[in-house]
Structure 1
Amino acid sequence: MSEYQRIETEAELRDLLGFPGKLVQHKVIGVIDEHCRRFIAQSPILMLATSDHEGHVDVSPRGDSPGFVQILDERRLVIPERPGNRRMDSLINLLSNPRAGMIFMIPGLEETLRVNGRAAIVRDEQLLQQMEAYGRTPLVGIMVEVEECYTHCAKAFKRSSLWNPESWPAKDHLPDIPKMIADHVKLPGISAEQVAASLNDSYTNRLY
């Protein structure tokens, strides 16, 4: 990146892009109020951002039926950890750096809800049983002590037309994910067809 002109200070950045207005400056709250509670209850998916102690960043989705995130009180929420691929990037990051950021989304709504705070991995049996789905209780959950809650404007969703089906590409033009994975792993004997079968088995039999 050294050959490109770079901005090195906040002063340079502010001179170029300016400052937020009063509405933006005052919209951040430190609790899960009634509005945030309603938003989270209707959200079937969130993006979870974490980083390790060296600052290596990871963002991954968490999704389930609306209401899958449990709100304990105005300061705490819990995200159930459903079965994944066992990389556990988010969980391992939280062991060394408890900071977490989330973006909650509701299909069709272009504004989103951002929540930031301190997170911990919990395994309280009574708590986790409340997040049982299809007869299976998560082994752990991510509890977040909320420090910031605020809405994010709809500009990115309007520019991308994300929720407009007419803007979606035809299915036969979508990336071939099994082939992508097979080409990336480059393991002998692993074909796109085998990856597709493995993914289908995981999606069919190991969602919960």
Structure 2
Amino acid sequence: MNTKYKNIITTKEEFASFREEIGQPSARAAGKVISFIDEHCIDFISKSPFLTMSTSDGAGKCDVSPRGDSPGFVTVLDRKHLFIPERPGNRRMDTAHNLIENPNIGLLFLIPGLGETLRINGKAYICRDPELLEKSIANGRTPLFGILAEAEECFIHCAKALIRSGLWNGESWPAKEALPSAPAMLAAHTNLPNETAEQVAKDLQESY
């Protein structure tokens, strides 16, 4: 790695020394990972309206994508499998493209107001099973496909990051007028002729 920044750890030997400096995880942290979806995970997933989905392509280039709907939109099929329906989006298909090249996936489930999150790692595949799609209808629309995930690791993640961030603390949220403008960002990044932030805002609102 060619960089002007100092003390970049890039080798196994450097990491081994760094790992010793940081210390080892507690017995609880080291032993909390299970290899199946138990009743606690099922309860958590049933109450979660939002998750992030992390994948990478065959070259290792990473991507993370949000997924959200009413709590219960993710279906737990058995102790190893869950189904995440694909709702209408921008049709970039980044996640689907990655899974064809590399089936490894990481999922992070959130529940509003709860600091702890649920992490599930494993393999995943594009799935068009008619029965699963039929069970995932929302607003009268049947999804064209979904993500079938096979759990290899399931574990609860502590609340420290969400506590520090104040994510669920409304008093810490910035004023709406101080928030970044998604339409302005999108108009600047796409740089399409004759497309203004106002037009993007109108199109986004219609899409939503």
Report deviation, 1:12: 2.4
Q: Report the residue type matching 1:116 in the other structure.
A: N
Runs of 4+ with deviation above 3 angstroms: none
Report deviation, 1:2: 2.2
Q: Report the residue type matching 1:76 in the other structure.
A: H
SS in 1 for 2:199: helix
Report deviation, 1:172: 0.4
Cα distance between partner residues in 2 of 1:79 and 1:41:
12
Are 2:94 and 1:89 aligned?
yes
SS in 1 for 2:202: helix
Report deviation, 1:66: 0.2
Cα distance between partner residues in 1 of 2:34 and 2:190:
44
Which of 6, 19, 23 is matched with 2:8 structurally? 6
Are 2:146 and 1:144 aligned?
no
Q: Report the residue type matching 1:7 in the other structure.
A: I
> Which residue of 2 is the match for residue 155 of structure 1?
160
Report deviation, 1:191: 0.5
For residues 51-96 of structure 1, give each alpha carbon's deviation from its aligned partner in whole angstroms, at most 9, with x where no partner exists.
0000000001000000000110010000000011011111110011
**Structure 1 unmatched runs, 5+:** 204-208
> Which residue of 1 is the match for residue 80 of structure 2?
75
Question: What are the equivalent positions in structure 2 for 1:1-208 lying under 5 Å apart?
Answer: 2-3=3-4, 4-8=6-10, 9=12, 10-203=15-208
**Structure 2 unmatched runs, 5+:** none
Report deviation, 1:18: 1.3
Report deviation, 1:134: 1.1
Q: Report the residue type matching 1:41 in the other structure.
A: S
Q: Report the residue type matching 1:90 in the other structure.
A: T
Q: How many pairs are equivalent?
A: 203
Cα distance between partner residues in 2 of 1:141 and 1:181:
27
SS in 2 for 1:31: coil
SS in 2 for 1:121: strand
Q: Report the residue type matching 1:5 in the other structure.
A: N
SS in 2 for 1:54: coil
Report deviation, 1:186: 1.2
Report deviation, 1:154: 0.6
SS in 1 for 2:88: coil
SS in 2 for 1:61: strand
SS in 1 for 2:142: coil
TM normalised by structure 1 equals 0.95
TM normalised by structure 2 equals 0.95
State the percentage of identical aligned residues: 56
SS in 2 for 1:28: coil
